Amino acid sequence: MADKEELKAQILALLGSSKKPALYLKDMQKKVDGKPREIKNAANELVKEQKAMFWSSGSSTMYALPERIKDEDKIGV
């Protein structure tokens, strides 16, 4: 069982270094060391703490860093 704070740090690092501004939960589960449920709970806690946010394409929901989404909105991506 991975430590929740360690999972959060891994998720934040992944969201910050990813080429895509937002990631699906399944993408995080492939690259973060932890059980799928633990990763989902840690990601949702980051959203509650306002360190990450949900982003929707209209058909599905992704996770992103707020500053990365704002940057993408500014350049029209």
Tally the domains of the chain: 1
**What CATH number does residue 27 fall under?**
1.10.10.10
Cα–Cα distances in Å, from 35 out to 8, 46, 73?
13, 17, 32
Mean pLDDT, residues 3-29 taken together: 95
Task: Note the pTM of the prediction, 2 decimals.
Answer: 0.85
User: Residue 59: what pLDDT?
Assistant: 87
What confidence tens digit (pLDDT) does each residue in 29-74 have? 999 999 999 999 999 999 999 999 999 878 889 999 999 886 554 5
User: Residue 72: what pLDDT?
Assistant: 54
Range of the domain at 42: 4-75
